C-alpha cells in the first residue's frame, strides 16, 4: 500500500509540475500585454466564481466517497461496472448540485460587479463560459471518483495534463488572434477576459473527453434506483451532506483572501495580488497539494473500518503513523530551506519576472508574505488529510464548529493588520494565523485518534528535520548576505532587469543555489532517505 501511494503521489507531483510550469510560462507571456485590471478580474474574480461552484458541489461528496470506497467495493450489493450503486449514485450529486449553483452564483456575480469590472470587453460572455466550464468539469466526477478509488492515477494525469496544455494554448491563441484580427490593437488586449474563459472551457472539455474515453463513457450520469432512499445510500448520503456543510466553511476560509480582495482592492492591485499568489503557490501546488490528495486516499484505505466502533489493525496504525510523520518531516525540511533563501533572493526574482507596471502593485509585498505562508500551508495540508480520512460524522460536526471559530480569527486578524497599514499582505499573514490554529486542532485530533484505537501515535519529535539542517541553514543565511555585499547585489536590483542579468548576480545566485543543495543533501542523508524508502515490517 505504501509503495502504491508513493507511486501515485509521484505521478500527481509530476502532473502539478507540468501544469504549474505551463501556467507560469503562460502568465509570463500574458503579463507583457494583459493589464493588471484584466488579469485581476480573471485570476481573482473569475477563479473565485469557478472554485466556489466546484468546491461547494463536489468537495464534501468526493471526500466521503473516497472514505467509503474500501469498505464498499467488496460488498455484494448491486453495482455498475464493478462500482457499487451506493457510490455510483452519490457520485452524480456534484453535477446535479453544480447546475443550479452555477446559474445562481453567476447571476449574483453579474448583478453585484462594479461598473469598472463589468465594463470590460466580453465580461458577461466570459462569466457564462466559466459557469459552463464548471458544469462540464463536474460531469466528470463519477469517473474521477472511480479513478482515485481504484488508484488509477495515470488516467487523471493524462486528463488533467492534456487539459492544462490545451488551456494554455487556447488562451494564448485567442490573444494572438486579436493581434491579427483587430487592426491597430492597443497594448492591453481587449480580448483578455474572453481568452481566459475560452481556455477554461477547453480545459473542462478536455478532461471530460479523456475521462470518458478511458471508461468508454460507461459511468452513468443519472442515478439508478437503490434499495435505500430510492437512489442514495442513507449513511453515505448523510456523511456527504455533513462534509459538504463543512466544505462551505472551509471554502470561505480557503478563498477568504480572494473574497475580501475582490471587494476592497482596486482592480490593478487585484492583478498584482493574483500574480503574487500564482507565483507564491507554485511550490505549494507542485509538491504539497498532490501529496495531500494521495494522503487522503492512503489514510482512507489503510485505516478503513466497517463502522465507527470497529477497531483498526495495529499494523495499519503503525503504517499511517510512519507515513504522516515522514511527510511532515520532509515538508518541514523544505520549508526551512524556503525560509532561509526565499527572502534573500526574492528581490532578484521580482525584478526579472515582473513587468515594471506590476512592481508598482501589491505583488512584491504579498510575495514576501507568501514565503512565511508556505510552511504552515504544508503542515496543515497533511494533518487535515488525515482528519478528513478518518473522522466520524460527530468529529466532522465538531471540526465544522471550530472552523467557524477559525474564520472569525482570520477576519479579525485581517482587519487588524489592515488597520496597521500592512495592505493586501494582511490577508496572507491572517491566513498564517488561521492555519496555525487549525494545525493545533489537527494535532490534538491525531493524538486522540491513536489513543482511542490503542495504537502508538506519531512521535512528533521525529518530524523535526534535525539540528544539522537548522545550523547549516543559519550559516547559509550569513554566507548569502555576505555574498550580496561582495557582489553589490542591491545596486544591481536598483538598475532593473538589465543589472539583474549581469555576471555578478549570476555568481551570487550560484552561491545560494549551492548552499541550498548542500542543505537538502544533509537532510536527505540524515532523514530524507528513510522517508522515501519505507521500512519493511517483519512478518510474525
Q: Residue 218 in 3-state DSSP? A: coil
- Compute the distance between CA of residue 518 and CA of residue 475 in angstroms, rounded to an integer: 12
- Compute the distance between CA of residue 413 and CA of residue 267 in angstroms, rounded to an integer: 23
Intra-chain end-to-end CA distance of the chain, in Å: 19
With a pLDDT cut of 90, the percent of the chain lying above it is 23
Task: Quote the pLDDT of residue 270.
Answer: 86
Of 501, 505, 499, 502, the C-alpha closest to 486 is 505
Strand partners, 80: 83
Query: Residue 443: is it exposed, middle or buried by C-beta count within 10 angstroms (0-12/13-18/19+)?
Result: middle
**pLDDT tens digits for range 20-71:** 677 677 767 777 768 888 888 998 899 999 999 998 888 878 777 766 665 4
Task: Quote the pLDDT of residue 183.
Answer: 52
What pLDDT band is residue 11 in, cutting at 50, 70 and 90?
Answer: low
- Compute the distance between CA of residue 473 and CA of residue 363 in angstroms, rounded to an integer: 27
Q: Show Cβ contacts of residue 442 under 8 Å, excluding neighbours closer than 6 positions.
A: 380, 383, 384, 386, 387
What pLDDT band is residue 532 in, cutting at 50, 70 and 90?
Answer: low
Summarize the confidence of residues 428-455 as an average pLDDT.
88
Listed in order, strand segments (DSSP E) in 7-56 are none
The pair phi, psi for residue 313, each rounded to 5°, is: -55, 135
Strand partners, 472: none
Mean pLDDT across the chain: 80
**pLDDT tens digits for range 235-248:** 666 767 777 776 77
More confidently predicted of 372 and 71: 372
Task: Quote the pLDDT of residue 74.
Answer: 45
- Lowest average pLDDT, out of 5-14, 331-340, 524-533, goes to 5-14
With a pLDDT cut of 70, the percent of the chain lying above it is 79
CB 294, CB 8: distance < 8 Å: yes
Task: Quote the pLDDT of residue 81.
Answer: 52
- Compute the distance between CA of residue 34 and CA of residue 24 in angstroms, rounded to an integer: 15
- Lowest average pLDDT, out of 284-293, 294-303, 474-483, goes to 284-293
CB 462, CB 329: distance < 8 Å: yes
Summarize the confidence of residues 280-294 as an average pLDDT.
74
More confidently predicted of 73 and 263: 263
**pLDDT tens digits for range 380-395:** 888 988 888 888 878 8
Task: Quote the pLDDT of residue 122.
Answer: 92
What pLDDT band is residue 308 in, cutting at 50, 70 and 90?
Answer: very low
- Compute the distance between CA of residue 267 and CA of residue 262 in angstroms, rounded to an integer: 8
- Compute the distance between CA of residue 260 and CA of residue 247 in angstroms, rounded to an integer: 19
- Three-state SS string over 322-368 comes to HHHHHHHHHHHHHHHHHHHHHHHHHHHHHHHHCCHHHHCCCHHHHHH
User: Does the pLDDT at position 100 exceed 90?
Assistant: yes
* Segment (H or E) for 149: helix 141-149
Of 122, 91, 104, 330, the C-alpha closest to 223 is 91
Strand partners, 79: 84
Strand partners, 83: 80
119: Cα separation from own chain's centroid:
31
R_g (Cα) of the chain, nearest Å = 24
**pLDDT tens digits for range 210-258:** 998 887 766 544 445 444 444 566 666 676 777 777 677 777 767 777 8
In 215-313, alpha helices (H): 234-254, 256-264, 267-280, 282-283, 289-302
User: Does the pLDDT at position 306 exceed 50?
Assistant: no
Strand partners, 84: 79
Domain boundaries, the chain: 31-248, 255-534
Amino acid at each position: 500500500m505504501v509503495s502504491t501511494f508513493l507511486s501515485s503521489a509521484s505521478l500527481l507531483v509530476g502532473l502539478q509540475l507540468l501544469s504549474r510550469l505551463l501556467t507560469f510560462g503562460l502568465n509570463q507571456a500574458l503579463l507583457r500585454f494583459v493589464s493588471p485590471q484584466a488579469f485581476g478580474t480573471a485570476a481573482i474574480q473569475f477563479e473565485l466564481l469557478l472554485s466556489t461552484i466546484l468546491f461547494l458541489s463536489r468537495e464534501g461528496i468526493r471526500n466521503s466517497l473516497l472514505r467509503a470506497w474500501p469498505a464498499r467495493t467488496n460488498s455484494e450489493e448491486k453495482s455498475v461496472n464493478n462500482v457499487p450503486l451506493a457510490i455510483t449514485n452519490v457520485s452524480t450529486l456534484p453535477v446535479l448540485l453544480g447546475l443550479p449553483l452555477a446559474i445562481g452564483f453567476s447571476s449574483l456575480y453579474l448583478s453585484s460587479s462594479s461598473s469598472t469590472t463589468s465594463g470590460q470587453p466580453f465580461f458577461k460572455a466570459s462569466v457564462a463560459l466559466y459557469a459552463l466550464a464548471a458544469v462540464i468539469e463536474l460531469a466528470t466526477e463519477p469517473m474521477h471518483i472511480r479513478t482515485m478509488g481504484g488508484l488509477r492515477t495515470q488516467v487523471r494525469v493524462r486528463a488533467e495534463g492534456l487539459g492544462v496544455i490545451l488551456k494554455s494554448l487556447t488562451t494564448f491563441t485567442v490573444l494572438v488572434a486579436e493581434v491579427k484580427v483587430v487592426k491597430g490593437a492597443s497594448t492591453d488586449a481587449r480580448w483578455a477576459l474572453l481568452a481566459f474563459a475560452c481556455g477554461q472551457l477547453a480545459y473542462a472539455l478536455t478532461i471530460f473527453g479523456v475521462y470518458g474515453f478511458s471508461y468508454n463513457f460507461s459511468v452513468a450520469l443519472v442515478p439508478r434506483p437503490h434499495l435505500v432512499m430510492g437512489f442514495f445510500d442513507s449513511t453515505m448520503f448523510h456523511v456527504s451532506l455533513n462534509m459538504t456543510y463543512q466544505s462551505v466553511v472551509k471554502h470561505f476560509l480557503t478563498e477568504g483572501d480572494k473574497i475580501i480582495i475582490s471587494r476592497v482592492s482596486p482592480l490593478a492591485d487585484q492583478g498584482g495580488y493574483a500574480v503574487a499568489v500564482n507565483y507564491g503557490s507554485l511550490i505549494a501546488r507542485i509538491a504539497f497539494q498532490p501529496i495531500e490528495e494521495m494522503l487522503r486516499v492512503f489514510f482512507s484505505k489503510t485505516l478503513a473500518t466497517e463502522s465507527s466502533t470497529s477497531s483498526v489493525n495495529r499494523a495499519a496504525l503503525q503504517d499511517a503513523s510512519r507515513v504522516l510523520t515522514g511527510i511532515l518531516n520532509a515538508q518541514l525540511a523544505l520549508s526551512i530551506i524556503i525560509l532561509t533563501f526565499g527572502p534573500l533572493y526574492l528581490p532578484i526574482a521580482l525584478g526579472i519576472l515582473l513587468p515594471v507596471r506590476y512592481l508598482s502593485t501589491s505583488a512584491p509585498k504579498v510575495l514576501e508574505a507568501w514565503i512565511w505562508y508556505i510552511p504552515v500551508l504544508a503542515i496543515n495540508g497533511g494533518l487535515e488529510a488525515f482528519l478528513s480520512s478518518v473522522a466520524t460524522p460527530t468529529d466532522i460536526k465538531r471540526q465544522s464548529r471550530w472552523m467557524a471559530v477559525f474564520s472569525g480569527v482570520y477576519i479579525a486578524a485581517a482587519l487588524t493588520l489592515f488597520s496597521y497599514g500592512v495592505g493586501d499582505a494582511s490577508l496572507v499573514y491572517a491566513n498564517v494565523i488561521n492555519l496555525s490554529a487549525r494545525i493545533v486542532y489537527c494535532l490534538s485530533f491525531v493524538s486522540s485518534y491513536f489513543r482511542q484505537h490503542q495504537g502508538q501515535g506519531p512521535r512528533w519529535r521525529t518530524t523535526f528535520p534535525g539540528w544539522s539542517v537548522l545550523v547549516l541553514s543559519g550559516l547559509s543565511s550569513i554566507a548569502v548576505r555576505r555574498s550580496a555585499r561582495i557582489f553589490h547585489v542591491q545596486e544591481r536590483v536598483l538598475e532593473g532587469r538589465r543589472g539583474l542579468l549581469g555576471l555578478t548576480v549570476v555568481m551570487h545566485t550560484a552561491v545560494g543555489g549551492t548552499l541550498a543543495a548542500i542543505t537538502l543533501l544533509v537532510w536527505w542523508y540524515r532523514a530524507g532517505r528513510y522517508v522515501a524508502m519505507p521500512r519493511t515490517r517483519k512478518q510474525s
